[in-house]
Chains A and B, each alone.
Chain A
Amino acid sequence: MKATMERATSAYRAGVTLLLAAACYEAVARSGVFPAALLPTLPKIASTLWALLLDGTMLEHAGFTMYRVLFGLALAVGVALPLGILMGRFRAVENFCLPLASALMPIPSLAWVPVFLLWFGLGNMVAILIVFYAALFPMLLNTWSGVRAVNPLWLRAAGAMGANERALFWKVIIPGASPFIITGFRQAFLRAWIAVVGAEMLAASDWGLGWVIFDAKEFLNADIMLAALAVIGAIGFVFERLVFGSLERATVMRWGMVRTAKG
């Protein structure tokens, strides 16, 4: 009962915040301080967005972007998760991979765009590889440190209670490392999301939300830009709130690893 009340209050406050923010924006846009082409009003943006959604172009752009992100992300998770666990469990793997990862990690994925453009030409390949590169390291390093952060006491306790390697892995290491792994996945998605837009802008491939925004700049179409930004934000929000939120509730929160703030 108390929990539902609190949730209702949260939702109410969130709604009020968003309404206030929208009202502020609208007031500035209508005040005429800035040219209307640069700061379009909310109804203008909404109608542009609606028109683009109706004729299907926005959905197609979003589809292309999603395809690139999810493909790259899946590749990154597929490589980073096993490798991170191996790095956490075996010294030799750690000794080999960690220096390489530490040297490559500080290089922004977008710095590779010109290089990849030369190597692979325009198209999906560049965007997917950039997403892969961007998502790889947060996933890898979080998995690694998660596995290492598992309390040795738990491992010994489970061993003393007769757990075999497999039970140890699934019942102790994976739940113990899961807050890190989920954080890593979340960060990987955010980075992938950043990288895909940048890659689409720089690799100009005719489709994709990043390309729409960049293309709109040429014609001073701030309303199209903001409409595309809204779509990008909406997709990101859905992922952040629904996918990661429920993932976290289903795993770490249930296991009591993180608590919600009170007061």
Chain B
Amino acid sequence: MTNFAPAASAHVPTAGTPVQRGESRWRVMGRTALPFLVVALAWEATAHAGIFPRKLFPPLEDVAGALLRLTATGVLPHHVLDTFVRLLAGFALAAAAGVAIGFAMGRSRRAEDVVLPLISIGAPIPGLAYAPLFLLWFGLGNVTAVLLVAVVSAFPIVFNTWAGVKAVKEIWLRSAQAMGADDRRLLHHVILPGALPYMLTGLRLGLAQAWRILVGVEMLAAVPWGLGWMIFGAREFLNTDVMLAGVAVIGAMGLALEKLVFQRLERYTVVRWGMMS
């Protein structure tokens, strides 16, 4: 199947390099760890060389110390939890609306013509540009943050679902119809599996987008708790170690979302259906 659809089966980049044949697990781990070791060493060397003030360019042990201190006092977990709840609420809204709109656009020319101008105008306006407006309209707080996250992360989901539905090969549709598939079967057995790699890409991008915007929103909206606020607040006191610890936690959360949610989903669906290996 992949032979027929090299361009249609969007290979979604996975975190970490794929296991190559005949490689032991240790070798793979070593191979993955090597670039990080190189970068960490370069960082340490720069930090200890004393070119930059330690306050601005802290060595990794300072960052790790800040991370431990904040976790032990319970400040960091509280920030993480608040950020996480906001993210989930916004993303759930966006996923439901985005997939529905994208599907409608991909299947019907009329829906495409009606929705595309609105989406095309909305999408290039960065979500953060709405932030001050939303703050004026909905006030400070979670409503603004969640709504912004939802609006912004819906766009990639719509676009990718749309592209995926359109990228389903005409010949697959026609052969399914020739074999007597009705509309429902066509949707379930041809269009949905065919569009799924794109949809998953869209959901991933949407989640990443939600993640990105959330951090910015937290900085702008001055919410009492949240990782974005923690980083931005640390600037006032030149706490670069707290900032970098926060950035690391943000990266780890994003990576965990990707690994735990999407790769699992992908394994159960697209890979099993043979859309990609």
Contact = CB atoms under 8 A, between A and B. Distances in A.
Interface of A: 6, 9-10, 13-14, 16-18, 21, 34, 38-39, 91, 94-100, 102-115, 117-119, 134, 141, 144-145, 148-151, 153-154, 176, 179-180, 187, 190-191, 193-198, 201-202, 209-210, 213-214, 216-217, 220, 222, 225-226, 228-229, 232-233, 235-237, 239-241, 257-263
Contacts of A222: 133, 136
A127 to B, nearest CB: 13
The 7 closest A-B pairs by CB, nearest first: A236-B124, A106-B254, A108-B212, A102-B15, A194-B126, A13-B113, A217-B132
A244 B32 CA distance: 36
A262 B216 contact: no
A14 B216 contact: no
Interface in B97-148: 106-110, 112-118, 120-133, 135-137
Contacts of B128: 110, 194, 197-198, 201, 210
Contacts of B240: 115, 118
Contacts of A210: 126, 128-129
Chain A contact surface mostly: helix
A13 B125 contact: no
Contacts of B125: 229, 232-233, 236
B215 A95 contact: no
Given A14-B116, A111-B250, A145-B11, A214 B132 contact: yes
Interface stretch (B74-82, B182-190, B231-239, B264-272): B231-239
A237 to B, nearest CB: 6
Contact of A100 (B35, B106, B244): B35
20 contacts: A14-B116, A17-B113, A106-B208, A106-B251, A106-B253, A106-B258, A107-B250, A114-B219, A118-B235, A119-B57, A149-B9, A187-B156, A196-B126, A197-B128, A210-B129, A213-B129, A225-B133, A236-B121, A236-B123, A240-B124
Contacts of A117: 235
Interface in B218-277: 219-220, 227-228, 231-232, 234-235, 238, 240, 243-244, 246-247, 250-255, 257-258
Given A99-B16, A194-B126, 12 more contacts: A17-B114, A95-B35, A96-B34, A98-B17, A106-B208, A180-B10, A196-B126, A198-B128, A213-B132, A228-B129, A232-B124, A236-B123
Nearest to B131: A201
A239 B56 CA distance: 38
A106 B243 contact: no
Contacts of B31: 95
B72 interface: no
A113 B113 contact: no
Given A14-B117, A176-B7, A233-B121, A100 B251 contact: no
Given A18-B117, A233-B125, A258-B166, A114 B231 contact: yes
B91 interface: no
Interface in B49-98: 56-57
B195 to A, nearest CB: 12
Contacts of B251: 103-104, 106-107
Contact of A241 (B110, B113, B120, B228): B120
Nearest to A10: B113
Contacts of A16: 114
Nearest to A109: B212
B235 A110 contact: no
Contact of B17 (A9, A95, A104, A214): A95
B36 A118 contact: no
Contacts of A153: 3
A229 B133 contact: yes
B203 interface: no
B132 A216 contact: yes
A98 B131 contact: no
B129 A114 contact: no
B6 A176 contact: yes
Contact of B231 (A17, A97, A111, A229): A111
Given A106-B255, A145-B10, A150-B6, A197 B129 contact: yes
